[in-house]
Structure 1
Amino acid sequence: MNTQLSVSSLPAITHNNQPVITTDLLAQLYGCKPKNISDNHINNCGRFVCGKHYFKLEKEDLISFKNKPDSVGLVGKNARHLILWTERGAARHAKMLETDQAWDVFEKLEDSYFQKRQEPTLSTRFLVSIENGRQTVMAVPEDACVMSVKGMAVKVATGEMYITSEELYSFITAAVDQLYRRNEYLMNKSV
């Protein structure tokens, strides 16, 4: 606890697209030792739900977190796990510590740290289509499969992807229709 840490100087840490805070940083802010936070967690384990109040990172998840640019210096070199506290978990610790400092700091965390980081982020993948001269842009869900026609044809031909005859017919019909529309659009555009 050599360096004075404040909510305004807190590094932005996220996990699962939500702001979180490490046990060490929370302890520094609340004016206690990390062991107090860990003991609260152990002694009240029934009051803390993983994924709601905290995240426990181990193995591959821990390695992945350590390699994130915004996580440099937050995890000990030989750490086997890391607890990241959500807003709700940080609130429970403030309540358990029952100190004015913990409550005052939690209020600041609530107002400026947890809230400012919860702005929705744009998807990095978009589908752009042009039909009859009108451009449409749609966000592509992260779990959507996106591939080129050529890539799909290779996967079907090599057996990596199975498509029924009915699905293949629908796909080919839609592809031919799109090619026709694109050709028609380009011809009208050049006139």
Structure 2
Amino acid sequence: MATPETAPPEATATRGARLLIIGPPGAGKGTQAAKIAERYGVPAISTGDIFRANIKGGTELGTQVQQIIERGELVPDSLTNEIVADRLQQPDAAEGFLLDGYPRTVDQVAALDAMLAPVGAELDAVILIEADVDEVVARLLKRAELEGRADDTEAVIRHRQEVYAEQTAPLVALFSERGKLVTVDGLGTVDGVAERIASGLDAQLGR
């Protein structure tokens, strides 16, 4: 068993951080989120996963969310904020977390700020994964072909990329102003991107 003197640096120096990851569809955000959460010893919290788990489990929340989605509407901020606030109060998130899929709007950022304020905390860093649109579209088209997703046409995929860019632009500007943004090129091997993220985060967090 490793002692404090012999433990690898990342086992001691990188534990705990309050993080957010942002990236376009197809940029490998989910894969990198898992690696970041493991490296920092924090839970990866995806609002989408929480919604899907509740729908699958038939919970009261799941029923609410399913009805909203079936009506073709977006889950309201009030409900999403409530879910995230509850999740962040759980013991495993006490020393940090990695948020994925929330906050998506400036209003949600304000809500998150309010959640963290009572314990004198704030986001430590925001990882922005960037990727060339044409490269990502090509990647998603290939995946759609392999998985038989006939509805994932190039036009649909490009529209999703445009919606993402429009939605995240205000967040990117906000976190850049706060000095929290860590921008990383998301193209390349999984390990190569992970190394760039680790290097950027270490610099941001002073580790």
TM-score > 0.5 by shorter chain: no
Structure with the higher fraction of residues in helix conformation: 2
Which has the larger Rg? 1
TM range (shorter): under 0.3
Which structure's relative contact order is higher, taking Cα pairs within 8 Å and 6+ residues apart?
2
